[in-house]
Structure 1
Amino acid sequence: MTPTKRKALSDAQPTTITARNPPWTYLKLQLLHQQHSTPSTSALQTPLDPLTARTYLSSALSQFLGQMGTSIPMDILKVSPEPSQSHSQSQSTDRTIWIRVPRQDAQAVVTAVSSWIGGAGSDMADAEGGVAWRVCAKGNFLGALVRGDGRDLFVP
């Protein structure tokens, strides 16, 4: 009986599992300044903190979906300033954040943040100009979204 059991175990095929409905969607967003006039460099160089990012995101969701939009759970995974790729004289920084939202709410969040512009002179924007979000990347798996290993997400 032992030889047949060994043969049966050696003929077994490996089992693969596919995650078809992941619970989360990950978004990489970039905060841009809409410059109406010549902005001061100090306003553009201030780092983006999680509280300000959350305020901007809540404003966008509230404007698009009302009270239901502000109830969408959202995790801010990372807030990081990155050097601007534009060749402007002001040496501004583009601020990037990584967030996680439930998969079923992802399309509403993308639509809300991509259509939102914080008005100039309001409590949601700098006095020199408005702010807006740009969706840089969206995906259901964080590893695939950051091109493989995800190391840049956890670098301080």
Structure 2
Amino acid sequence: MSTQDTQPATQSQPPLEQKTSKRKPSDTQPLPIHFTARDPSWTYLKLQLISQAQTNSQVKNDTPLDPLTARTYLTAALAQFLGLVGTSISIDILKISSSSTSTSTSSSTPTSENIVWIRVPRPDAVAVVAALSSWIGGTTGNGGVAWRVCAKGNFLGALVAGDGRDLFVP
């Protein structure tokens, strides 16, 4: 037997240091991050408070909506529809905007358009929409009030036509 047969055949391999090359940090570019939100936690609603005119004087409510009154109306609608469970639903009022618009009727008295943006937990959104859209507030000196659901969505940007400027305008 020769010594060549007893020794294993080895091929010359370069050392480990020569095999790997070091990259410069400036040469590498970060990979783009793709994010998909499949289960958003919130649902956003755009609501309009509609006040009914008195039948005898045809005067519309032109007082702007304040946060306390909006919260009271929202809580009353949820309590009437769902009872005590409805009052425990978390509602965040994001913005209240009151703008005066002139009507095109014969009386042409200006009315105020009260818009409220709210955020509710996504699992409770169906119950909140049902409660608000079916609620009619009690008659006061200026007639009854009701909520109209103008828009609903799981993303605020998509709800306000993609740019979000409508929400954050003072």
Name the TM-score class by shorter chain: 0.7 to 0.9
Alignment of 1:85-104 (within 5 A): 86-88=103-105, 89-104=108-123
Q: CA deviation at 1:13?
A: 6.5
CA distance in 2, matches of 1:15, 1:112: 40
81-90 vs 27-36, greater mean Cα deviation: 81-90
Letter aligned with residue 154 of structure 2: N
Residue 74 of structure 2: aligned partner: 57
Q: CA deviation at 1:32?
A: 0.4
Is 2:164 aligned against 1:150?
Answer: yes
Tell which structure's C-alpha radius of gyration is larger.
2
Q: What is the TM-score with the length of structure 1 in the denominator?
A: 0.83
The equivalent position to 2:153 in structure 1, one of 139, 148, 151, is 139
CA distance in 1, matches of 2:46, 2:102: 17
Alignment of 1:64-143 (within 5 A): 64-84=81-101, 86-88=103-105, 89-120=108-139, 126-143=140-157
Q: Which has the higher contact order (CA 8 A, sep 6+)?
A: 1
Letter aligned with residue 51 of structure 1: L
Following superposition, which runs of at least 4 residues in structure 1 exceed 2 angstroms of deviation?
1-4, 12-15, 38-41, 82-86
Residue 123 of structure 1: aligned partner: none
Residue 17 of structure 1: aligned partner: 35
Q: CA deviation at 1:3?
A: 8.0
Structure 2: give runs of 5+ residues left out of the alignment: 1-19
Letter aligned with residue 149 of structure 1: D
Q: Work out whether residues 28 and 137 of structure 1, in 8 Å CA contact, stay in contact via their aligned partners in 2.
A: yes
Q: Work out whether residues 39 and 128 of structure 1, in 8 Å CA contact, stay in contact via their aligned partners in 2.
A: no
Q: CA deviation at 1:2?
A: 2.5
Aligned residues: 146
Residue 26 of structure 1: aligned partner: 44
Q: What is the TM-score with the length of structure 2 in the denominator?
A: 0.77
After superposition, give the CA deviation of every residue in 1:11-33 in whole Å (9 maximum; x if it has no partner): x9744221011111000000001
CA distance in 1, matches of 2:62, 2:88: 31
Secondary structure class of the residue paired with 1:45 = coil
Aligned residues with identical type, % of pairs: 59
After superposition, give the CA deviation of every residue in 1:110-132 in whole Å (9 maximum; x if it has no partner): 00000000121xxxxx3231100
141-150 vs 51-60, greater mean Cα deviation: 141-150
Bigger proportion of residues as helix: 1
